[in-house]
Amino acid sequence: MTHQTRWTRGGLRTLAVLAMAMLVIAGTAAAVPVAPNEVYGTVSDQNGDAVDGVTVEAVHDGEVLVSTTTDSDGYYELKVPDPNDEASGETVTIRTTGTQSDDQASITWESAAVDNRDLDVEIQTDTGDGGADDGDTDDGDTDDGDTGGGGAPSGGGGADDGTETTTTTTAPPSEPVEEGLSGTEAEVAIEGDSLVAVGFQSQTELSGSVSVQALQDPPQPVPEARQFVSAAEITFSDGDGEGVDMVRLSVSQSRLDELGVTPSGLVVAHLGDDEWEELDTTVVSTDGPVVVEAPSVGFSTYAVLAQEDVTTTTATGDTPTETTEPPADTTTETPTETTTETDTPGFGISLSLVALIGAALLALRRHA
């Protein structure tokens, strides 16, 4: 065996060893998962006190990415995943839900970033009607008339049982608005922050009058996976509105923005026998206030609810099927493209190293 042959075989062996080492290194250099964007902060009430048990959500394009609740110190922490599995820069809304006046803030999503967002909410507290508030009232004919009810410990100026009563925790309804009816269409304007008008359509002439009272809170809990938007108590002076075919409710766009929902996610519901009946709903207009329409099924309370992940405004039974399919297609396509782009460099290096090792081994056999 010549010196040249030994040198060649030794060099090829060294080359093969180096190639194998590089292959091992490339194999261990797996793609690192995208780190979430961490968001933390404190939720405080109108008095500056920390609020326990408030739900905080991270929302992108109406979809809740992750949620949590505040602890006893009002502290929350969210690890927000990449909304679209794409490049950084998407805007994500951090918001509270379930308080009398919710708050929200936004972040620009960045992998492994840490953002602080403190939120302020308004909490309605219970207030007693006893004690010093009405202690200056002289209820002389009651059994503590000798004190004139002035600051009686039981409150309420001479109440027999001394029981302290509290006000309701729901927001008070607005004043009823009454309008006369004529023609086949009518609309009652309401000066509200959420519900701004209620309209009626009929095949026959409408007569008499109608009273509409906007409600700030639902009189009955709304169905699961539904969010309360607004409601109205509707009363007809002449009968129960049997001639009315369609009911239209106009909701302010600011209310939808506050809740993070889109017009396509709205559904009209009617309260009957203490249960909500969801109706076939159509979005009539999104120019200014969002107007939704549904068939009349008698009159008492109508509400506008928001559905999660809804893409159509047809019957509720069809909605989940139509809603589920688009996300499934998106999810399938996006990871495939992302994974291919992330793993392509490592795969190419591995393939090159395998080819290099194969060539080295083939050369060794030829020089054997």
Give residue 328's pLDDT.
43
Looking at 294, 319, 344, the residue that finishes a domain is 319
How many residues would you count in the chain? 368
Give residue 133's pLDDT.
46
Give residue 149's pLDDT.
42
Give residue 190's pLDDT.
84
> Is the same domain home to 187 and 108?
no
Both tokens assigned to 49: 């006190």
Q: Please check whether residue 103 is in contact with residue 120, taking contact to mean a CB–CB distance below 8 angstroms.
A: yes
Both tokens assigned to 79: 């690890």
Whether the model pTM is above 0.75: no
Give residue 94's pLDDT.
96
CATH number, position 230: 2.60.220
- Provide the residue range defining the domain that includes 235: 177-319
Provide the CB-side half-sphere exposure for 42 (13 A, CA).
Answer: 8
Backbone φ, ψ for residue 165 (5° rounding): -100, 155
- pLDDT tens digits in sequence order for the chain, 368 residues long: 555 555 456 666 666 667 676 665 555 544 456 789 999 999 999 999 999 999 999 999 889 999 999 999 999 999 999 888 765 788 999 999 988 889 999 999 998 899 999 999 998 776 544 444 444 444 444 444 444 444 444 444 444 454 444 443 444 557 888 888 778 888 889 877 788 888 888 888 888 788 888 888 888 898 988 989 988 888 887 766 777 889 999 999 888 888 888 998 899 999 888 888 889 999 999 888 899 999 988 777 999 999 865 444 444 444 444 444 444 444 434 333 333 344 444 555 666 666 677 776 766 666 55
Q: What is the DSSP string of 199-222?
A: EEEESS---SEEEEEEESS-SSPP
Domain membership flag for residue 93 = yes
In angstroms, the CA 233 to CA 280 distance is 19
245-271 per-residue burial string, b: 16 or more CB within 10 A, e: under 16: ebbbbbbbeebbebbbbbbbbbbbbbb
> Is the same domain home to 181 and 299?
yes
CATH number, position 84: 2.60.40.10
Give residue 219's pLDDT.
86
- At which residue do the structure tokens 């508030």 appear? 133
Provide the CB-side half-sphere exposure for 290 (13 A, CA).
Answer: 27
Contacts by 31-36, CB closer than 8 A, 24 or more apart: 31/342, 31/343, 31/346, 34/81, 34/82, 34/85, 34/111, 35/111, 35/112, 36/79, 36/80, 36/81, 36/82, 36/111, 36/112
> Is the same domain home to 68 and 201?
no
Q: Please check whether residue 250 is in contact with residue 286, taking contact to mean a CB–CB distance below 8 angstroms.
A: no
Largest CA distance in the chain: 129
- At which residue do the structure tokens 């292959």 appear? 23
Looking at 97, 120, 143, the residue that finishes a domain is 120
Give the amino acid at 166: T
- At which residue do the structure tokens 């009363």 appear? 235
* Alpha helices (H) in 260-312, listed in sequence order: none
> Is the same domain home to 266 and 191?
yes
Give residue 84's pLDDT.
81
What stretches of the chain adopt beta strand conformation (E)?
37-44, 55-60, 63-69, 75-80, 91-97, 104-108, 114-116, 119-120, 177-180, 185-189, 195-202, 209-215, 226-236, 244-251, 266-272, 275-278, 282-285, 290-295, 301-307
Both tokens assigned to 335: 């990871």
> Is the same domain home to 263 and 192?
yes
**Considering its fold, how many domains does the chain have in total?**
2
Give residue 83's pLDDT.
86
> Is the same domain home to 181 and 301?
yes
> Is the same domain home to 76 and 189?
no
